Structures are given as structure tokens and as C-alpha cells.
Amino acid sequence: MTLQDAADLASALLTIHGRIRRTLLTGKSDEVTASQTAALGRLLRYGESTVADLARAEGVRPQSMGATVQALVDLGYAERRQDPSDGRRTLVRATPAGAAAREDAWSARSRVLADRLAALTPEDRATVARSLEILESLVEP
């Protein structure tokens, strides 16, 4: 495939991104949705947050994020607490159970990809590694 036009490359990249996501979802064994996984991952990476800040970071409405957070709380993967510096605000943080669930899901998806990457030639794996270095520059400031 020789895609030189930026628009064609963008389209191909979005297509392969979707195919990778669908491939990883087929082996999914938990009940956590993609939006719940994203919110939980953000809480684990950046620490506790308000629902409004989570919504802004994920590009969704606060009401949608509120439902997402409630589902995580119901699963025992997150908990709410009053902000000690401002009693009007509620903070959300991941629980140890949430961290463990996220790690289990991450490990399962990594195994699927590792098995597929292992089937490639060493040269193709090197090309994938180089591609990741290049793609990283597209998403980092």
C-alpha cells in the first residue's frame, strides 16, 4: 500500500485503529464499556478528579460522565468522596479493585496483540516498532 496523501493516510489510520479495537473487543471478558475503561484509565493515570473535569478530558457531556462514573462505583472500581478543600465538590478516584480490573483487561489485550506480533517476521516487527515511534509524534504535544 502506497498512501502518500495525508487525507488517505488519515483515513487508513482510522480504519486500522477501528479494526484493532474490534479485534481486542472480541476477546473481552469483563462488563466494562469502552467509556468506563477510558474514565478508569484516566483516574489511574492522573489521580482523583471531578466528574466535570473527567467529562472535559474525555470530550463528553458531564451527564454522560456522571453515568459512567456511577457504573464504575456500582462495580466497585471507583469511589466518590467530598473534596476536603471545597465541600460543595465531589471527587472520584479509582479503587484497588478498579486498578486490578484495568490491569487484567490490559494484560488480556496485550496478550492478543503479542501473539499476533509474534507471528510477524523480525523485519515486520521492526517496521511496526518504527511506525509506533512515528505515530507517537502525532499524539504528543
Q: Which residue has the higher pLDDT, 140 or 107?
A: 107
Task: Indicate if the pLDDT at residue 107 is higher than 60.
Answer: yes
* Long-range Cβ contact pairs of 104-107 (< 8 A, separation 24 or more): 104/30, 105/28, 105/30, 105/32, 105/37
pLDDT at 28: 64
pLDDT per position as a tens digit, 5-41: 888 888 999 999 889 888 887 666 677 888 898 999 9
Q: What is the mean pLDDT of residues 98-125?
A: 92
Closest by CA position to 54, among listed 62, 108, 135, 63: 62
Residues whose CB falls within 8 Å of the CB of residue 72, separated by 6 or more in sequence, listed in order: 36, 39, 40, 78, 92, 98
SS3 13: helix
Confidence of residue 96 (pLDDT cuts 50, 70, 90): very high
Q: What is the mean pLDDT of the chain?
A: 90
Confidence of residue 3 (pLDDT cuts 50, 70, 90): low
For 131, the grid coordinates are 511506525
Confidence of residue 2 (pLDDT cuts 50, 70, 90): low
Task: Indicate if the pLDDT at residue 83 is higher than 60.
Answer: yes
Fold of 30-139: Arc Repressor Mutant, subunit A (1.10.10)
Residue 120 per-residue DSSP state: S
Within the chain, residue ranges assigned H as helices are 6-26, 34-46, 51-58, 62-75, 96-118, 122-139
Confidence of residue 80 (pLDDT cuts 50, 70, 90): very high
Closest by CA position to 49, among listed 57, 60, 61: 57
Q: What is the mean pLDDT of residues 35-50?
A: 94
Task: Indicate if the pLDDT at residue 1 is higher than 70.
Answer: no
